[in-house]
Structure 1
Amino acid sequence: MSNAHPRPTGRRHPGKIARAGRAPKPVSPRTYAAEPGGRPVLVCAGDSITHGMISANWVRGVAQAAAPTMDTVNAGVSGNLAWNLLSRLDEVIACRPAIVTVLIGTNDALAQISDRWSARYRRTQRLPQRPTAEWYEENLRRIVDRLKYETTARIALMSLPPLSDGVDGRWNDLITPYNAIIHDVAARAGVPVLPVHERIAGLIADEPASLVEPWDGTQKLMGAATVRRLLLRRSWDTIARKHGFATTTDGVHLNEHAAAQIAVLVERFVNNAGENGYTTR
């Protein structure tokens, strides 16, 4: 497969046309591949935390910052596990990206909460097997391998954000093995890990413990957060405070304050600033 980037055609994708008072928005992989803009492309791949529909949209901020020199594609899909991202990776590769960021694994970890969570993911995401840490590692390695050998992109993985504003305890124990896998896969592939977990954990450490409510491990707050966002037009930060969290709206999805940390890390990587400082432990 040829990995050369398409030559500029002078056309811009309709979603990228500058309108007075409006910043450019990221488009989906299929939309961009159907009519490429002819400039270097950043693809942000992941799940709902990247998709930005039921979580604060950090990709939009990155797109605005990158707009003068680069197009941005949002390849996040809510609910996806690593296997789902691997299954649709052709869409990412078809964009002929210059840079790819990968933030995937929160749903793989959540599937370990209970048999009910696992069964729900198998049904809704049409998984061929029960999610396990070993399967996650296999799928993540295949994602990175394909990106390395089928694109010319600079690649960065990202560590998973904390659950339930937890930097220790049950939810940290659930996330920790998956972050260890991310670091191991990155080290073997020679790609950096953007320290999302560490940056958001820093925000949590700054919050008084009395203001943070523990998450009960259910999805009940997810529906409430969506209603408050879509119907009541509340900000994600306001919803987080209403539910007793500092960085998440419902124990899983990020508020604006936390999402901004991801945007900063990605912008630095895109601009090469501090790239070698990110760990590949």
Structure 2
Amino acid sequence: MTSDNPTDPRSRFKIALDERFSKPIGPRAHAARPSGHPVLVCAGDSITQGAGGSNWVHQVARTVAPAMTCVNAGVGGNVAWNLLARLDEIIACRPIAVTVLIGTNDALAQISATWSDSSVKHQQLPQHPTAQWYEDNLRRIVDRLKSETTADIALMSLPPLADAVDGRWHDLVAPYNAIIHEVATEAGVPVLPVHERVTTLITGEPARPWDGTRKLMGMSLLRRLALRQSWDTIARHHGFTTTPDGVHLNEHAAAQVAALVTQFVNAAVQARKA
């Protein structure tokens, strides 16, 4: 865990990350100073938070402001169980719309015991992630949002890993996207086709196949902070078209996600006016 001591190098690095990857108002801050505007909550992990890649929630916030407040409820490293555990603060925002993009870390935990053990340790999980556990938690998330809010809810399919349209990394994500569609169908909520939309941007086989580790994440952050390179530039440097590090989104991919969310929100608002 990173120290809160501002003289600790780890803490200074965290502060630098927080400044570089700033995000729209979070759930707790919104509860403390409500805007009075309708609220959109974007819930998820680091892909939503905007840490490690382009912040698509920022793009949505710029589009819907000032008529709507956009709350970023993304937390890096979270699996579905973590999101379920912090759902109270999301519900407290009294949103009219909620998007849920969660499951990438659940899938990554299946890569190896190292990934799984790290997730348990750093996310303080009560068990090692499994697909069944993910499904159970996602279903509970949707059930609570439907019963405890009046929000329009949209699940989002998981983006591809490492520009993979087939093979190991595609097969890792595919069962989780199947779960997302199944849960959404049962609950009667839409799925925003993030996976499909980002996949259309992939131009071919990655120039450098991803090794399934976190190595590129650290290298990407270093290039972002030290060289101030764009996520698109970092992605090209690492041989990808949609991701700087195999997991997170570059600007090109994030713009597609933002467009899907903006379309969903605008439709929800228009339906309420009808």
Is TM-score (shorter-chain normalized) higher than 0.5?
yes
Question: Secondary structure at 2:51's aligned position in 1?
Answer: coil
RMSD between aligned residues: 1.6
Structure 1 residue ranges (4+ consecutive) displaced by more than 6 angstroms after TM superposition: none
Output the amino acid matched with 2:126: P
Give percent identity, aligned residues only: 70
Structure 2 unpaired stretches of 5+? 1-22
- Give the structure 2 partner of residue 51 of structure 1: 49
Q: Which has the higher helix share?
A: 2
- Give the structure 2 partner of residue 84 of structure 1: 82
Q: Matches of 2:142 and 2:189 in 1, distance apart?
A: 9
* Aligned 8 A contact 1:157 1:192 in 2: yes
Q: CA deviation at 1:232?
A: 1.4
2:219 paired with 1:221? no
Q: CA deviation at 1:53?
A: 2.0
Q: CA deviation at 1:231?
A: 1.7
Question: Secondary structure at 2:41's aligned position in 1?
Answer: strand
Q: CA deviation at 1:101?
A: 0.2
* Aligned 8 A contact 1:212 1:246 in 2: no
* Aligned 8 A contact 1:164 1:215 in 2: yes
Structure 1 unpaired stretches of 5+? 1-24, 277-281
1:6-38 residue CA offsets vs partner (Å, 9 max, x unmatched): xxxxxxxxxxxxxxxxxxx62000000111101
Q: Matches of 2:179 and 2:238 in 1, distance apart?
A: 31
Q: CA deviation at 1:208?
A: 3.8
Output the amino acid matched with 1:83: W
TM-score (norm 1): 0.86
Any residues of structure 2 matched to 1:94-243 within 5 Å, and which?
A: 94-204=92-202, 207-209=203-205, 212-243=207-238
1:38-88 residue CA offsets vs partner (Å, 9 max, x unmatched): 110000000000000211100000000000311100000000000000000
The count of residues paired between Structure 1 and Structure 2 equals 249
Q: Matches of 1:113 and 1:83 in 2, distance apart?
A: 18
Q: Matches of 2:228 and 2:72 in 1, distance apart?
A: 23
- Give the structure 1 partner of residue 245 of structure 2: 250
Q: Matches of 2:194 and 2:211 in 1, distance apart?
A: 23
TM-score (norm 2): 0.88
- Give the structure 1 partner of residue 7 of structure 2: none
- Give the structure 2 partner of residue 74 of structure 1: 72
Q: Matches of 2:207 and 2:82 in 1, distance apart?
A: 33
2:262 paired with 1:267? yes
